[in-house]
Amino acid sequence: MKKTFLKSILVLGVVLVSSSQIFSQWVPQTSGITTRLRNVRAVDDNVVWACGNSGVVLRTINGGTTWEKRITNATVINYGLEAFDSLTAWVTGTVGGSADVYIWKTTNGGLTWVEQYHNPTGFGDALRFFDPSNGIYYGDPDPYPSGNWEILTTSNGGTTWNRVPLVNFPPADSANGEYGAALSMDIVGNTIWFGGYSDVVGTPNRIWKSTDKGLTWTVSSYTNVTGQSDIHYMAFSNTNDGVDVDFDGSIARTTDGGATWSVTSGAPSVFRFVANIPLSNAYIAVGSAGLITASSDGGVTWTPMTSGTTVNLYTVDATTKHAWAAGNSGTILKLSGNPVPVELTSFSAVITGKNVTLNWATATEINNSGFDVQRKSTAGDFVSVGFVKGHGTSQEAQAYSYVDKNVESGNYSYRLKQIDLDGKSKFSNIVEVEVKVPNKFELSQNYPNPFNPTTKISYEIAKETIVSLKVYDVIGNEIVTLVNETKPAGTYEVIFDASNLSNGVYLYKIQAGNFTATKKLILMK
């Protein structure tokens, strides 16, 4: 059962870390209701769901130009919400926001709802789905107070929900009446986190974590700025990097999946939710008195955004191009244009011999000076290995590449430090590679063989040398030279195209230093 005291502090506060307003602005949308909205889930740039008090569920299929109102049960406050498309969604609501919890599902856009779960003594904090079949719900300890969190899992889209036994998770702090923070849950892959607090002096904020879709759990904690656990909300950009924001203005960061946390103060901000911007290490947080603030560097620094409202905002969600925030009085705000000045959409690495080629792309750029490319070995720190100039300000997609040459064998991590023209900077996610240098010379059999009309020839070079790879007919006439250049140690492959040749048997020969080898290939059209 949820305590019924009211958090009445209204502070018009922001985290004044960066004084320049470089982000886009928020525009109000017409929701058609005046009740409080508690949760919003953006399926894509057009399909967005929201829910809140009085059993309200809203849906838009045109990016928020119009919203359709649905009702699950007018006596409940709907907190948890999940959706994968315009038709299918799940909602958890609790009667009066106190006790008597339900889970409903719709498959027709909210026109009708099917009750999937009911607990007359429970309070539902949140539910999320990993995919349309596998989902998880968590609620306050039931019975309350006790250590027994109500954690439910489903593997059939919610047709049946199974309670996770107490022995599978560290218990709630029953002595101090610990309970959940509504909506305090996030998932990345098969990993999930949820939050608990007691609102008692001397108690920490606690975060439970599961890496197997909710079957088994561990718990971590941190002490917030006031030293009294409070409502807090987490969001993760990957399984390692995340933030947790607190009603008292605390901002906690983790880089190890929540095992440890570093805490700073964002007071006087009163945080009520935080969300990750997909494909980035950026976050948007909302809170009391119209607070909206964003971070583009994993929560290290935050920049205030103009919301245009003073009502409490309880929720926010984002795609790579848009974001929606919602709260009291049916307020819905939309942000068009990613709040990240440089929107990185991909970052990957390809290994060719001893060279590591990094490729990345941006969707939009604002005042982008460029990218400092950084590398770290297993035992070392990140060091700069190169710089790639940016495109300044661009609304078009841009592609970048950098080759880190002659890298020794070992495991490495790479990241990009994106630097603005005014000197501000932020880091990308990390990509990891393993560089393996062969210890022998070898020519592999082509594949496929027989082939028509192309085949792949692979070879390994143990040290830098001049490499010659040629194709001959069976009487020794040279047909084509595939490779004739100095190559560093590594593994290579080349495509041989025999479109202009006749069927038959051919030979391919490699010479690399003192190493020579010849193999047959068969062209069969």
Q: What is the pLDDT of residue 340?
A: 60
Contact 3, 94 (CB under 8 A): no
Q: What is the pLDDT of residue 383?
A: 95
Q: How far apart are CA 127 and CA 103, in angstroms?
A: 9
Q: How far apart are CA 166 and CA 271, in angstroms?
A: 31
Indicate the SS3 state at residue 176.
Answer: helix
The DSSP letter of residue 475 is: T
Indicate the SS3 state at residue 396.
Answer: coil
Which tokens is 153 given?
Answer: 């899992």
Digitized pLDDT (tens) for each residue of the chain, 525 residues in all:
443 323 332 232 223 233 233 345 799 999 999 999 999 999 999 999 999 999 999 999 999 999 999 999 999 999 999 999 999 999 999 999 999 999 999 999 999 999 999 999 999 999 999 999 999 999 999 999 999 999 999 999 999 999 999 999 999 999 999 999 999 999 999 999 999 999 999 999 999 999 999 999 999 999 999 999 999 999 999 999 999 999 999 999 999 999 999 999 998 899 999 999 987 888 999 999 999 999 988 899 898 899 999 999 999 999 988 999 999 999 999 997 655 667 788 899 998 877 899 999 987 787 789 999 999 998 889 999 999 999 987 767 899 999 998 888 889 999 999 998 888 888 898 999 988 878 899 999 999 999 999 999 999 998 889 999 999 999 999 999 999 999 888 888 899 999 999 999 999 999 999 999 999 999 998
426-456 in b/e form (b: 16+ CB < 10 A) is bbbbbbebebebbeebebeebeeeebeeebe
Question: What's the burial of 468, exposed, middle or buried (CB within 10 Å: 0-12/13-18/19+)?
Answer: middle
Indicate the SS3 state at residue 363.
Answer: strand
* Nearest CA among 85, 74, 42, 315 for reference residue 57: 74
Indicate the SS3 state at residue 54.
Answer: helix
User: From 3.90.230.10, 2.60.40.1930, 3.60.20.10, 1.10.3720.10, which CATH number describes the 442-523 domain?
Assistant: 2.60.40.1930
Indicate the SS3 state at residue 398.
Answer: strand
DSSP states of 126-173: EEEESSSS-EEEEES-SSSSSS--EEEEESSTTSS-EEPPGGGSPPP-
The DSSP letter of residue 11 is: -
Q: What is the pLDDT of residue 365?
A: 80
Domain definitions of the chain by residue range: 26-339, 343-435, 442-523
* Nearest CA among 178, 180, 183 for reference residue 199: 178
User: For the chain, what is the radius of gyration of the CA atoms?
Assistant: 28
* Nearest CA among 158, 161, 156 for reference residue 119: 161
| 97: amino acid identity, one letter | G
Q: Which CATH class is domain 26-339?
A: mainly beta
Contact 106, 87 (CB under 8 A): yes
Would 343-435 and 442-523 be classified into the same CATH topology? yes
Which residues have CB under 8 Å from 177's CB, separation 6+? 3, 144, 145, 198, 200
Q: Which homologous superfamily is 343-435 in?
A: Immunoglobulins (2.60.40.10)
Q: How far apart are CA 272 and CA 315, in angstroms?
A: 7
